[in-house]
Amino acid sequence: MGRKMEWAGKEKHMRGIPRKLVFLAVGAFAKAVATLLNTTSVHNADTLIRLVRSRLPGIPLLTVSNHMSTLDDPLLWGFKGFPSLDANLARWVLSAEDICFKNYALTYFFRLGKCIPITRGAGIYQEHMNEALQCLNNGAWLHTFPEGKVSQEDAPIRRLKWGTASLIVRAHVTPIVLPMVHSGFEEVMPEKFFLDRRPPFPLCNKKIKIMIGQPLEFDIPKMRQLAISKSRGDHLFSSTTSRGWPVISSHGLDLDEAAQRCLYSTISQQIQTVMEELRSLAKSS
């Protein structure tokens, strides 16, 4: 399908009209489910809205959240006061290729919805990760689900996949990283509703809670230096079987695979810790 129909995701495709129509329809659906059919409470919504609407030009935004259902996106953006109908402000999002890009029609629809196909298990340097990286380099907003798959259990945040950390490191301008944690979508769209299948439509009268944290700042040049030093002296990182990752270079430093592993692990752990703090806060409030 020609690089998964990347052309359909371009802003200028048919003057942007199909994209605008998709966001009007999907945004209205998200608003209806999140605010009319269910009850949604949001902690620290102003921070997210401010960063989406009025961060400095050229500064990318990377939001990360847990993954409770196949409808987390777009329902996450359906809460009151969020500009979910505006295609220009909308996020780009990493989406599972085997779910969202199964055929021509789905691929076209999700491309219009600013979705980027990711193949599970294909690694952090797979083809379309470069497309996600380009979004950040363009100063856009990208959302990821770094746990990598849906989990509807009431359990701690799982170990994060390193793809999100690799995007933070490789971006030309270090993005603003905003962690989020939500609950309730597992009841709106349960994986095993009837005969081990999801319901045909979102369920109603559920309580959705969205906890938005504070922006995280990463001093990537300093963290690179520390990772290079640590990886050389840490047998855990230097002895691991090579996956054939390319050496990456920026800020005047070359990072081999061992240093990348060390750096991605450090960043992922920091994000995971904050997400778990948000999850604990949500449970106690």
Residue 246 within a domain: no
Residue 208 within a domain: yes
Residue 105 within a domain: yes
Pair 28, 65: CB distance under 8 Å = no
Residue 189 within a domain: yes
Give the DSSP letter of residue 153.
S
Distance CA 120, CA 111 (A): 18
Q: Which amino acid is at 135?
A: C
Residue 3: predicted pLDDT:
64
Residue 243 within a domain: no
Give the DSSP letter of residue 43.
E
Residue 202: predicted pLDDT:
95
| pTM: predicted TM-score of the whole model, two decimal places | 0.93
Residue 156: predicted pLDDT:
93
Alpha carbon separation from 33 to 9, 184, 195, 235 (Å, rounded): 25, 12, 24, 50
Dihedral over Cα of 151, 145, 73, 8: its sign = negative
Residue 129: predicted pLDDT:
95
Residue 238: predicted pLDDT:
58
pLDDT tens per residue, the chain (285 residues)? Answer: 556 888 888 888 898 899 999 999 999 999 999 999 999 999 999 999 999 999 999 999 999 999 999 999 999 999 999 999 999 999 999 999 988 899 999 999 999 999 999 998 889 999 899 999 999 999 999 999 999 888 888 899 999 999 999 999 999 999 999 999 999 999 999 988 888 889 999 999 999 999 999 999 999 999 999 999 888 866 666 556 677 899 988 667 889 999 999 999 999 999 999 999 999 998 887
Residue 274 within a domain: no
Q: Which two tokens stand for residue 219?
A: 């001093």
Give the total number of structural domains in the chain. 1
Dihedral over Cα of 8, 12, 17, 22: its sign = positive
CA-nearest of 30, 22, 132 to 75 is: 30
Which residues constitute the domain of residue 135?
6-217
In DSSP terms, which residues pair with 63 in a beta bridge?
143, 178
Burial class (CB in 10 A: 0-12, 13-18, 19+), 244: exposed
Residue 144: predicted pLDDT:
98
Q: What is the dihedral of CA 185, 189, 195, 200, to 10 degrees?
A: 180
> Can you give the CATH number for the domain in which 209 is found?
3.40.1130.10
Residue 194: predicted pLDDT:
84
Distance CA 213, CA 170 (A): 23
Distance CA 110, CA 141 (A): 16
Residue 262 within a domain: no
Residue 125: predicted pLDDT:
93
- Residue whose pair of structure tokens reads 């948000």 in the numeric block: 278
Residue 1 within a domain: no
Distance CA 268, CA 63 (A): 13
